[in-house]
Amino acid sequence: MSTFSQLVHQRRSIRKYSEKPVEKEHITQCVEAARVAPSAENVEPWRFVVLTEPELKRKFCNAAFSGVYTFTKWAAKAPVIILILAKLDILANRIGKQIQGTNYYLIDIGIAGEHLVLQAQELGLGTCWIGWFNAKKARKFLNIPSSYKVVSLISMGYPDKTILKEKKRLALKEIMWFNGFEK
């Protein structure tokens, strides 16, 4: 089992997957990790639609990654596509937006999604957050009611081991200051 530090240092955005199917139990375990994430006022705004059936996934990807979104077509080869939806009729998030100017449901979904991708990493799965897709076509294709917003997609599968590279990051001293901001 990996330590948390190992998980966060090893996790990469994977855009090329092996053809090996992902076990339903692993998918469920990843969504369970997301389900237990904290949320503002414990409203749990997240909902998940998991696409694994190849023909359905292919048709969905043809719709969601068409036009200016064709750059994201690589995701169609992932064995799993997970849609993360936000339930929009939650009072706490609407008040937070009015008072603070922050869409707290997006923070909540970010936390839940990160739980999901880190659980996937621990299970040896690769993932990639996808924000570049046609949300209107995704909603229409799956008949998602207007009370839900399609916030993000996550591709998932066993990574093609030939593409893993070291990721470059800013040094800690470039992004953190104690007791005040420094330029």
Dihedral angle computed from the Cα positions of residues 81, 82, 83 and 88, in that order, rounded to the nearest 10 degrees: 180
The pLDDT tens digits of the residues spanning 33-79 come to 999 999 988 889 999 999 999 999 999 999 999 999 999 999 999 99
What is the pTM (predicted TM-score) of this model? Answer: 0.91
Q: How confident is the model at residue 15 (pLDDT cuts 50, 70, 90)?
A: very high
Provide the CA 99 distance to its chain's centre, in angstroms: 27
Q: What is the mean pLDDT of the chain?
A: 91
Q: How confident is the model at residue 89 (pLDDT cuts 50, 70, 90)?
A: low
Question: Which strand ranges, in their side-by-side order, compose the sheet holding 126-130?
Answer: 46-51, 80-87, 148-157, 126-130
Contact 155, 75 (CB under 8 A): yes
75 vs 98, more confident: 75
Q: Tell me which CATH code domain 12-175 carries.
A: 3.40.109.10
pLDDT of residue 83: 98
Report the alpha-carbon distance of residue 16 to residue 159 in Å, rounded: 6
The pLDDT tens digits of the residues spanning 113-133 come to 999 999 999 999 999 999 999
9 vs 113, more confident: 113
Is the pLDDT assigned to residue 10 strictly greater than 90? no
HEC string for the chain: CCCHHHHHHHCCECCCECCCCCCHHHHHHHHHHHHCCCCHHHCCCEEEEEECCHHHHHHHHHHHCCHHHHHHHHHHHCCEEEEEEEECCCHHHHHHHHHHCCCHHHHHHHHHHHHHHHHHHHCCCEEEEECCCCHHHHHHHCCCCCCEEEEEEEEEECECHHHCCCCCCCCHHHHCCCCCCCC
pLDDT of residue 90: 58
The fraction of the chain above a pLDDT of 90, given in percent, is: 71
Domain residue spans in the chain? 12-175
Please report where in the chains the tokens 């036009």 appear, as a residue: 67
